[in-house]
A and B are shown apart, each in its own frame.
Chain A
Amino acid sequence: MTTLVPLLSTLLDSLELGLIYAIMALGVFISFRTLNMPDLTVDGSFTLGAAISAVMVFNHGRPFSGLALAFLSGCIAGVCTALLVTKMKIQPLLSGILMMLALYSINIKVMGGKPNIPLLNKTVMFSFLEGASPGKYARYLFLLLILVIVIIVLFLFLKTKLGFALRATGDNDKMVRALGVNTDNMIIIGLALSNGLVAFSGAIIAQYQSFADVSMGIGMVVIGLASVIIGEVLFGTRTLLRRLSAVSLGSVTYRLIVAVSLWLGMPPTDLKLVSAVIVAIALSMTAAKDKFASLITRRANTVGKEGE
C-alpha cells in the first residue's frame, strides 16, 4: 500500500501532463500525418513557446498573453521551415534540423541570454484556480477544457475548404496541384499551424512546471510521434474526430507508460531511449507485418509442394 499511494499521485500528475502534451502531439499530427512531412522544428518551437511564455510571466506578469504570443511565434518558426522546404527546395527533414538549430540560439536570446527561467511564486495561468471549488481537480478540468477546445477548433478547421486542400496535399500533392491549389501555400499554412500548437503546448508546460529551460524540447518530436502512433493503434483512425481524440489519448497513454516505468525504478535518463524504441517499433510495424505474411505464404507454399 505504501508504494501504491505515490503511484496514484504520479498517475494523476501524468494525466495532466498528458493533456498538455496532447496539444503538442496534435501539432506533430498535422505535419507527420496530414502533410506527410515529419518536421523536426518541433524540438525548437516547443522550447520557443516555453521561453516566450516564461518571459511574459517573469517580466510582464501576463500569463495569457504569453500563451497567445507563444502560439504566434511558433507559427512564424513553422513558416520559416516551410519556406526552406518550398522555396529553397531543401529536404523537409534537413529544413527542420536547420530551424531547430537556429531556434536553440534564438531561444536563449528570448530568455535574455540565460539557459533557464524559474517562475516560482509568479502569477501563472493556473493562479486564478487557487481556492476554486472542485479543489485539486480544478487544474485538471481547466487543462481538459483547453484541450477539448483545441481539438474542436482543429477539427472544424480541417473540415473547411482550406482544411480539405491541406489534408489532400499530404495525401496526393500531384492531384492537389491538378485541382488548382498552390501546394507550397498549403505546406506553409500546415507547418505554421503545427508549430503554433507545439509552441502553445510548450508555453503551458513552462507555466505548469514553473520553469523554462533551453533543453526542454530535446526529443519532443519523438514523443509527439510516439503519441500519434500509440493513439492511432489503440484508439483507431476511422473518422477525423476520432483520430484527433486518439492522438490526444495517445499522449496521455505515453505519460502513463512513463509514470509506471519510473515507478518500477527505471532511471529518468533512460526515458528518451524508451521513447526512441517505442517509435522505432511502431514505425517498423508495417514492414514486420509484410514479412510475417510473406513467411506464412512461403511456408504454405512449401508444405503444398511436399504433398505432391
Chain B
Amino acid sequence: MLRVENVTKIFNRGSVNEMKALDNISLYLEEGEFVTVIGGNGAGKSTLLNCIAGVYEIDAGRITLGGIDITYAPEYKRSMYIGRVFQNPLDGTAFDMTIEENLAIAYAKGKPRGLRPGITRAEAALFREKLALLGLGLEDRMKEKAGRLSGGQRQALTLLMATITKPFLLLLDEHTAALDPVTAKKVLELTDRIVKEQKLSTIMVTHNMKAALDYGTRTIMMHEGRIIMDLDSRQKKEATVEWLIEQFSRRSGTDFDNDRMLLG
C-alpha cells in the first residue's frame, strides 16, 4: 500500500548545521495496518510523516502510495489520498469559518471546487450525522466558528475532516500531544474507533509509549533517522513500557533521556 524505500532527508545541506533527519529509511505498510511510531526528540518521526505528505522534498529514495509513485508529487496533490491531523490544534481548522464550512472544505477533497453552493442541504445533513458520532455535541453548533472550539474539540473535528472522504492513508503527527491527559485519551479512543470502523491504513506518531502499545497493529521505534525496532501485533501484546525503554537504550546505545516519553 505505502512503500517508503531508502529515503534520506537532509536539512541545511552543505551548511554547518547540516542534519540527516532520515537516514536511508524503508517502511512498508499493508492495507489496513495501524502503525504507531515512537522515538526521542529529533528521531525523525515527524520528518518521516512530512516527507510522506509532501511537505518536504526528499534527498534520496522513493515513495509510492497504492502503486503510484508520489516521490515528487506536490503536497496538495498527495493530500487527495492522504488525511492528516497535526500536533497543533490550531493547524487543523480555519478559525474564522464555521464548523460546517470547515467540514465542507474537507468533504470537497478530490472533487472539483467550482461555483456550486458551498454546502448543500444533503451535505449539511451528512455533517450533522457525522458530528453526532463524535459525541461532543458539535452537531448543534455547526454554524459556530471553529475558532471557538477547545483544543480537544478541534482535534476531533480535524480527525473527522481528515477521514470524511476516506483517505488511502491517515497520518497523525502527535495529534494528542498538546491536549491534557483526559482529553488526549478521549481523542485517542475516537481515533482508534474511526480507524477500525473505516479500516484505515494509519501512521500515528506519539510521545506516549503506553498509547503506542495500546493502540494499533504495529509499533516502530525510530532513532537518529532510522528504524531501530519493529513490533508486530503479537509482540506488541507482550511488550511493556519498561521493556521498551530497556530495548531503546540497548539498540540506540544511548541512555533514555526524554522525560516526556515516560509519562502516561
Do the two shown chains form a genuine complex with each other?
yes
| Chain A residues near B (Cβ < 8 Å) | 157, 159-165, 167-168, 171-172, 174-183
Given contacts A175-B94, A177-B79, contact A164 B114 (CB under 8 A): no
Closest chain A residue to B161, Cβ basis: A179
Q: Which residues of chain B from 78 to 107 have any CB-CB distance to chain A below 8 Å in the complex?
A: 79-80, 82-84, 86, 90-97, 101-102, 104-106
Instruction: State whether B115 touches A162 (Cβ < 8 A).
Output: yes
Give which listed residue, A159, A165, A172, A179, contacts B95 with CB less than 8 A.
Answer: A172
- In the complex, A180→B115 CA distance in Å? 17
Q: Is the interface of A mostly helix, strand, loop or mixed?
A: helix
Q: A161-B118, A177-B75 are in contact. List 16 more A-B contacts (CB 8 A).
A: A160-B115, A160-B116, A162-B114, A162-B115, A164-B101, A164-B105, A164-B113, A165-B105, A171-B94, A171-B95, A171-B97, A172-B91, A172-B95, A175-B91, A175-B93, A178-B84
Closest chain B residue to A165, Cβ basis: B113
Give which listed residue, B80, B94, B114, B117, contacts A180 with CB less than 8 A.
Answer: B80
Interface string of B209-248 (1 = CB under 8 A from A): 0000000000000000000000000000000000000000
A169 CB to closest chain B CB (Å) equals 9
Instruction: State whether A161 touches B79 (Cβ < 8 A).
Output: no
Interface string of B61-82 (1 = CB under 8 A from A): 0000000000000111101101
**Could you list 12 examples of A-B contacts with CB < 8 Å?**
A159-B117, A160-B114, A161-B108, A164-B104, A164-B118, A167-B96, A171-B95, A172-B93, A176-B94, A179-B108, A180-B110, A183-B76
Instruction: State whether B91 touches A168 (Cβ < 8 A).
Output: no
Name the A residues within 8 Å of B118 (CB-CB).
159-161, 163-164
**Which 6 pairs across A and B sit closest by C-beta, in order of nearness?**
A171-B94, A168-B94, A180-B79, A161-B113, A180-B109, A180-B80
Instruction: State whether A164 touches B97 (Cβ < 8 A).
Output: yes
Name the B residues within 8 Å of A160 (CB-CB).
114-118
- B53 part of interface (Cβ distance < 8 Å): yes
- In the complex, A183→B250 CA distance in Å? 45
| Chain B residues near A (Cβ < 8 Å) | 53, 74-77, 79-80, 82-84, 86, 90-97, 101-102, 104-106, 108-110, 113-118, 161-162
Instruction: State whether A182 touches B105 (Cβ < 8 A).
Output: no
Name the B residues within 8 Å of A174 (CB-CB).
86, 91
Given contacts A157-B115, A159-B117, A174-B86, contact A179 B97 (CB under 8 A): no
- In the complex, A175→B83 CA distance in Å? 11
Name the B residues within 8 Å of A168 (CB-CB).
94, 97, 101-102, 105
A177 CB to closest chain B CB (Å) equals 5
- In the complex, A211→B95 CA distance in Å? 44
- In the complex, A183→B79 CA distance in Å? 12
Name the A residues within 8 Å of B86 (CB-CB).
174, 178
Instruction: State whether A180 touches B92 (Cβ < 8 A).
Output: no
Name the A residues within 8 Å of B79 (CB-CB).
177-181
- In the complex, A161→B109 CA distance in Å? 10
- In the complex, A171→B102 CA distance in Å? 11
- In the complex, A175→B76 CA distance in Å? 10
Instruction: State whether A181 touches B96 (Cβ < 8 A).
Output: no
- In the complex, A179→B86 CA distance in Å? 13
Instruction: State whether A182 touches B117 (Cβ < 8 A).
Output: no
Name the A residues within 8 Å of B105 (CB-CB).
164-165, 168, 176, 179, 181
- In the complex, A179→B102 CA distance in Å? 10
Name the A residues within 8 Å of B93 (CB-CB).
172, 175
Closest chain A residue to B145, Cβ basis: A238
A124 CB to closest chain B CB (Å) equals 32
Given contacts A161-B108, A177-B75, A178-B84, contact A167 B115 (CB under 8 A): no
- In the complex, A33→B109 CA distance in Å? 24
Instruction: State whether A180 touches B91 (Cβ < 8 A).
Output: no
A161 CB to closest chain B CB (Å) equals 4
